[in-house]
Amino acid sequence: MLKGTKVGLRARHEDDIPILRTELYDDVVNASRAEAGPWRPIRPDSQDPRLVVDDTQQGSVQFSVVELAGGSLVGTATLWGIDTHNRTAHIGLGLLPSCRGKGYGTDVVAVLCHYAFVVRSLHRLQIETLADNTGMLRSAERNGFVREGVLRSSAWVMGEFLDEVLLGLLVQDWKQGTPV
């Protein structure tokens, strides 16, 4: 397990899947804001690629996020779009609604940065998030990410186009925090 100050990132367990499905992906508004495509219902017994980890897939690494204090599941974290030639990747995370606003997001981003830069030897990380996602913007900027641009009206979410903010962090600009 990779550890931050508040959370740990570990392999996805089978018993995480029903909780993540119910809390994150069955919620139409939340899923619509988090996913690039339109929300659609998924059968409970389906092998949903957002939840079921394919260990043979080299382009992404999916984690379950747990609270260090009690071990309870608080969300998901993903390093995706991994490009080993250019040494780049994207960061994504989703926190259960009851776990938002507690500083977990900032800690998840910090642990993902450590994993990407130290363990995977990547050079650049990128985050794309909706312009009104203040929690993600704050978590990214607290970890040294810089706003590099705005993709105007690029995301269709629940009947309207929204702006997305593009943030980047280079390994030489990263300030390593708490050891993991």
Average pLDDT over every residue of 23-32: 79
Instruction: Please state, in angstroms and rounded to a whole number, the distance separating the CA atoms of residues 151 and 168.
Output: 14
Query: Predicted confidence band at 37 (pLDDT cuts at 50, 70, 90)?
Result: confident
Task: Using the Cα atoms of residue 123, residue 100, residue 98 and residue 2 in order, give the sign of their dihedral.
Answer: positive
Phi, psi of 23 (to 5 degrees): -80, -35
Instruction: Identify which of 51-55, 59-63, 147-151, 154-158 has the greatest average pLDDT.
Output: 147-151
Instruction: Please state, in angstroms and rounded to a whole number, the distance separating the CA atoms of residues 29 and 8.
Output: 27
Domains of the chain, CATH where assigned: 2-123 (3.40.630.30)
Q: Is the pLDDT of residue 179 over 50?
A: no
Local structure of 156: helix, strand or coil: strand
Residue with token string 């990547």:
122
Least confident of 21-25, 40-44, 88-92, 147-151: 40-44
Supply angle C-alpha 57, 10, 170, rounded to 5.
70
Instruction: Please state, in angstroms and rounded to a whole number, the distance separating the CA atoms of residues 39 and 30.
Output: 9
Query: Predicted confidence band at 49 (pLDDT cuts at 50, 70, 90)?
Result: low
Instruction: Please state, in angstroms and rounded to a whole number, the distance separating the CA atoms of residues 117 and 102.
Output: 25
HSE, side-chain direction, 13 A CA sphere, residue 150:
8
What's this model's pTM, rounded to 2 decimal places? Answer: 0.89
Output the average pLDDT for the chain: 91
CB pairs under 8 A, 24+ apart, for 64-67?
64/9, 64/10, 64/11, 64/12, 64/13, 64/16, 64/20, 65/7, 65/8, 65/9, 65/93, 65/95, 65/104, 65/108, 66/1, 66/7, 66/8, 66/10, 67/6, 67/7, 67/8, 67/99, 67/104
Reported as type and span, the H/E element at residue 34 is helix 28-34
